[in-house]
Amino acid sequence: MSEKVEKAGLEQASRRRFFKVGAATVAGATAAVAAPNIARAQTKTLKVQAAWGGGIFLENAKAYVDRVHAMAGKDLKIDLLAVNAVVKTSQMQDAVHRGVLDGCHYVPAYWYSKSKSASLFGTGPCFGWSSQEVLGWVHYGGGMELFNELMDSLGLNVVSFFNSPMPAQPMGWFKEEIKDASQMNGLKYRTVGLAADVLLEMGMSVVQLPGGEIQPAMKSGLIDAAEFNNPTSDRDFGMQDVSKHYHLASFHQSQEFFEISFNKRMFESLPEEHKAILKYASEAENSNFYWHNTKRYAEDLTKLRDEQGVNVYRTPDSVMAEQLKAWDVVVERIAAEDEFFAKVIASQKAYAKEVMNYLNLNQPDYKLAYNHYFG
């Protein structure tokens, strides 16, 4: 073999080795890009108990959870537990505080026994506003800051979000039509929160019962009259089987909404995007609740009246005027004893006076238009 041929053969062999090694290197790099060795974080699952065993409010709690899941994907999950799954409803806030539960879905009136100011965040006096405007105060009128101040003063390891502006609650179910406030004197009546103080001031005897116990209590005669929240829930409870006299409109609980609470230490340990999802899912559910629930309430009110023989009345203005007078007495009494309560009331009044002045001047009389078309 000539020197020239031998040299050419060595160069070919060298090139083959270069391309072989190069190809292997590229293949390895391509495989690394195609299947990177990245450790995925485990799914964070939060145990959240609802105050509802079923019905439309449990549907609302699930709707919030669905929004969290839609935004968080596989990284954050909520295990929604029904009423009494871990603790009783009255113990839920303490369970969240201690970390026994990661969160709960309820209303502020359910922990009213810790502070009467709790009831101002959802079941307080009506300063001419609806639940929507109270939520406006929470988010843009200093209400959230006052709520967090209350949490700190009570030493509660809790962070909360508020959503779902409820329509005014009916005055409820009675044994006869109520035409005058004097008929309410002495009646044994079910309600919760500050409304209990207000109706006591009006001469009623008030019993605070969980929703599921209302119908049996009225059936047995333990109570004479009752309210829960709305036509759909009332119909689900079977209130139409123990009374045929249903009064809509009242100032005893004319603005209420849900509270979703989380253990504060747990919440603060979450990634920023998970905190944002829990917060903004609450705001998204705020709109969905109103659209969804008002339609259902209207449908079930029609069924109660047309299919189940319930007499539906609007509570007389004279009765609601007496409720406002009772509110004045209760608020003045508690404010004189509780500086923080007085502080919250002052903040609410300032917000309502400004915002409702604009809305009252601007919004037309919708009832006038309704009567024009529907009589």
pTM of the model: 0.86
End-to-end Cα, the chain, rounded Å: 114
CA distance 156 to 173: 36
- pLDDT of res. 308: 97
- pLDDT of res. 192: 84
Q: Match 């909360």 to its residue by tokens.
A: 160
For the chain, what percent of residues have pLDDT higher than 70? 89
**Average pLDDT, whole number, for the chain?**
90
DSSP 269: H
Pairing mode, if any, of strands 188-190 and 205-207?
A: parallel
Task: Describe the crossing of helices 131-140 and 339-362 by its angle, rounded to 10 degrees.
Answer: 120
DSSP 239: G
CA distances for 167 relative to 70, 226, 299, angstroms: 27, 17, 15
pLDDT digits (tens, 9 = 90+) for 204-250: 999 888 788 899 999 999 999 999 999 999 999 999 999 999 999 99
pLDDT digits (tens, 9 = 90+) for 272-325: 999 999 999 999 999 999 999 999 999 999 999 999 999 999 999 999 999 999
- pLDDT of res. 40: 54
CA distance 202 to 195: 11
Q: Which two tokens stand for residue 140?
A: 């843009």
The helix (run of H) or strand (run of E) holding residue 30 is helix 3-34
CA distance 140 to 353: 14
Reply yes or no on whether the pLDDT at 134 is more than 90. Answer: yes
- Check if the beta carbon of residue 258 is closer than 8 Å to that of residue 162: yes
pLDDT digits (tens, 9 = 90+) for 79-119: 999 999 999 999 999 999 999 999 999 999 889 889 999 99
For the chain, how big is the Rg over CA atoms in Å? 30
Characterize 126-139 residue by residue with b for buried, 16 or more Cβ atoms within 10 angstroms of its Cβ, and e for exposed: bbebbbebbbbbbe
Closest listed residue to residue 195, CA positions, set 236, 250, 140: 250
- Check if the beta carbon of residue 78 is closer than 8 Å to that of residue 110: no
Q: Match 């974080």 to its residue by tokens.
A: 41
**pLDDT band, residue 57 (cuts 50/70/90):** very high
SS3 state of residue 226: strand
CA distance 11 to 258: 80
pLDDT digits (tens, 9 = 90+) for 331-357: 999 999 999 999 999 999 999 999 999
Q: Match 């449990």 to its residue by tokens.
A: 58
- pLDDT of res. 41: 63
- Check if the beta carbon of residue 330 is closer than 8 Å to that of residue 120: no
- pLDDT of res. 212: 82
- Check if the beta carbon of residue 255 is closer than 8 Å to that of residue 319: no
- Check if the beta carbon of residue 114 is closer than 8 Å to that of residue 154: yes
